Amino acid sequence: MRGQGPSAPGGQAPADGSGPRPAWLESLAAAAYLADEQGVITAVNTVAEQLLGRNAVELLGRDAHDTLHRNALGQPEPRSECPVRQAVLAGRTAQGGALWFERGDGSVTPVAWLVTGYDAGGRRGTLALFHPLDDTEPGSLQEPLSELERLALFAELTTQLTSTMDVEEVLNRLVRLLAPRLADWAVVDLITEAGGVWRRVVVHAEDGDLRNQENLVGPMSAVPQESQLPLSRALRGAASALTGPETYRGEPDSELAVEQGRLFAATGIQSAVIGPIRGLRDVLGALTLGRSDGSHPFTTADLPLLEEITRRAGLALDNARLYERQRKVSETMQRHLLPQLPRVPDLQMTARYVPAPDASQVGGDWYDAFVLPDGATALVIGDVVGHDLEAAADMAQLRNMLRAYAFSQQKPPSKIVEWLDQAAMQLSGSDMATLVLARLTRGGPLGWELTWTNAGHPPPLLITREGATQYLTDAHGMLLGTGWAEPRPDVSLLLPPGATLLLYTDGLIEEPGASLDDGLDRLSRQAAALSHHPLDTFTDELLARARPAANEDDIALLALRTAHRARP
C-alpha cells in the first residue's frame, strides 16, 4: 500500500508562536504531526496537542520516535523494533495499532496509527495520523484505522490532484492513489466535448505495481439517455452504485453496456462501485473501482467514500480542462498573429513558434519577415515583456506599427525602431519590449548585406557553412518602453555564401538557475554542429538540442540561409 503523500502547502502560525502550522494539517479530524526525513517533528495540529497533553513548543524540533514512542509499560521502544520507523525508512504507507505515545504528564496512551510520505516543495517527510484506543478493547481497532485511512487519502487527493493542471497527470495521480489502496482495478471514463465517451485509463494493481491495460482504453459510444445500467446512469450524473459482472450479462441495452461487459470479462472484476465525476457545471465522466476474487467485495458503506473521491477528482479535472481551454485559445491566438514568410530568390527562410509549458506564459514572443517596397527584406524578432493574452495583444499592436513604419519610410532600422518606441510610449505608456529589426539587401556579386539594430534583445547568431559561429553583438541599444531618447545604432555586415542567420527569443537560451552565457554557449555549440543540415532539419534539431530542459517560456525563432554561391 504505497502512497506519495500530500504536499505541505503553507499555513498559518499558531497563536503561541511555535511555528507554521499548515492549514490542511489543522483541518484533519485526527491527531497528526509532520516530521522531516530525519524524523524531527516540524508541525503538529491542535488535536494532537490535546491528545498528548503537550503544547506544540514541546514537540517541534524534537525526534518523533524518542519523544513519543513507548511500549505498554511506558519504556522507550527500541528504534529497530518500531513499526512506524520501519515504515518511514522503507518509504511506504503503513498502519497499525497497539502503539503507545507518551503524554506530557508522563503517562502513555494507546493509539491506532497511520504514516505516509509527504512532499513539501521538494523536501520529503512523513505525515503521521493517530487515534486514541481503549486498550481494554483490542477488537475495536479496525474502525479507527478505517477513519485514519480516509483522512490520509483525502489529504493526498486534495494536494496531489490540485497541484497539476494537466488532465493526463490528474488521471494518473488519481488511479495511483486508489489502487491498490482501495481496489484492484481503477477505470476512468470521460465525456468528450463532442458528447462521446472515452475510456481514458484502465489500470490493474499487480505484485505491488500498477499496469496500464492499453487494450481496454479508447473511444466509446455516446451516453445512452434511456439506459438504467450503472455506468450509463453515472455518466448522466446519478448517484454512485454497486455493480458486478452479473449486471452486464443480460441483453445489453446500449453499445456502452457492451463495452462495460467486455471490461468485466477481460479484467475478472467480481465487485465494483461506479460513481459520477462531476464538475462545477456538468458531469465530466465516471470512476469505476473493481475488486477481483480474493478481495473483500464492495458494500453500500463504500459509496459515500467513492462520492467524496469523485467530488475531489471532478474539481481537479474541471480546473485542468479550463486550463487546457485557455492554453488552446492562447496558442491559437498567438499562431494566427504570426505571419507567413515571404518567398525571396536565393534565400531560404523558416520559422518556428513553441508555446510555453504554462498557458499563462503564452503571448509575448513573435517573428516577422516581409519584402519592402525597395526590394529589401525586413526581418524581425521580438518579445513583449509579460506573458499572457494582454502581452499577445500588445505584440500584435507593435508588429502592425512596425510594419507600417517600415513600409512607408525608407529609413535604416534604427530610425524605424526610434519611431516605434515613441509611438508605443504614447499609446501604452508602460509596455516594454525587446526586438531586433534588420534589412537584408543584395550586396552585388558579394551576396547579401545585413543591416540591423538591436533594442535590448539577445544577439542574432551567424553560422557559416563550415560551422564557425559569431554572435552579432554590435548595434545594441536599450529596450523599448523605457523612455530612452538617445539615437539608436545601425551596423552592416556582408553574409557569407551558404551562411545561416538565426534570430530567436530568450526562451531558447534562458534557464532558471543557469547563467545567460551558458545558454548562449550551448546554442552556439549546437548550431555549429548542425550547420551542414538542411535549414528545416537544422531548425528542428536545434530546438530539440538547445532548448533548456527547465524552459518556462515560449520561443519564437526565425532562421534564414543564403545561397551557396553568390550571384555573378
Mean pLDDT within 304-324: 89
Are 424 and 480 spatial neighbours (Cβ–Cβ below 8 Å)? Answer: yes
Chain mean pLDDT for the chain: 84
- Residue 482 binned pLDDT confidence (cut-offs 50, 70, 90): confident
**pTM of the prediction?**
0.51
Mean pLDDT within 198-212: 90
Residue 72: pLDDT above 80? no
Strand pairing category for 365-371 and 377-384: antiparallel
Are 384 and 431 spatial neighbours (Cβ–Cβ below 8 Å)? Answer: yes
Residue 3: pLDDT above 80? no
**From the centroid of its chain, how far is CA 256?**
32
Alpha helices in 117-216 (DSSP H): 142-162, 167-178
What is the spatial distance between Cα 448 and Cα 345, in angstroms, rounded to a whole number? 12
- Residue 277 binned pLDDT confidence (cut-offs 50, 70, 90): very high
Q: Nearest Cα to 114, choosing from 147, 68, 76?
A: 147
Q: Identify the residue with better confidence: 403 or 429.
A: 403
- Side-chain half-sphere exposure of 478, counting CA atoms within 13 A: 12
Instruction: Give residue 26's pLDDT.
Output: 81
Domains of the chain: 11-160 (3.30.450.20), 167-327 (3.30.450.40), 338-562 (3.60.40.10)
Q: Identify the residue with better confidence: 222 or 82.
A: 222
| Percent of the chain residues topping a pLDDT of 90 | 51
Instruction: Give residue 311's pLDDT.
Output: 93
Q: Nearest Cα to 32, choosing from 86, 111, 107?
A: 111
- Residue 136 binned pLDDT confidence (cut-offs 50, 70, 90): very low
Q: Nearest Cα to 395, choosing from 338, 439, 355?
A: 338
- Residue 304 binned pLDDT confidence (cut-offs 50, 70, 90): confident
Calculate the dihedral angle through the C-alpha atoms of 58, 64, 70, 76, rounding to the nearest 10 degrees. Answer: -90
Condensed to tens digits (0 to 9), the pLDDT of residues 382-397 reads 998 765 566 667 788 8
What is the spatial distance between Cα 26 and Cα 31, in angstroms, rounded to a whole number? 9
Contacts of 346 (CB under 8 A, 6+ apart): 562, 563, 567
Q: Identify the residue with better confidence: 424 or 136.
A: 424
Strand, coil or helix: what is 301? helix
Condensed to tens digits (0 to 9), the pLDDT of residues 146-174 reads 566 677 777 888 888 888 888 999 999 99
- Side-chain half-sphere exposure of 209, counting CA atoms within 13 A: 4
Contacts of 289 (CB under 8 A, 6+ apart): 178, 179, 182, 183, 185, 186, 187, 272, 273, 298, 306
User: At which residue does the C-alpha cell 509499560 appear?
Assistant: 73
What is the spatial distance between Cα 562 and Cα 557, in angstroms, rounded to a whole number? 17
Most confident of 325-334, 424-433, 552-561: 552-561
Q: CB atoms < 10 A from the CB of 18, how many?
A: 18
Residue 141: pLDDT above 50? no
Instruction: Give residue 374's pLDDT.
Output: 93
Q: Nearest Cα to 356, choosing from 322, 386, 336?
A: 386
Cell of residue 137, nine digits: 478493547
Condensed to tens digits (0 to 9), the pLDDT of residues 499-520 reads 999 999 999 999 888 889 999 9
Lowest mean pLDDT among 16-20, 542-546, 550-554: 16-20
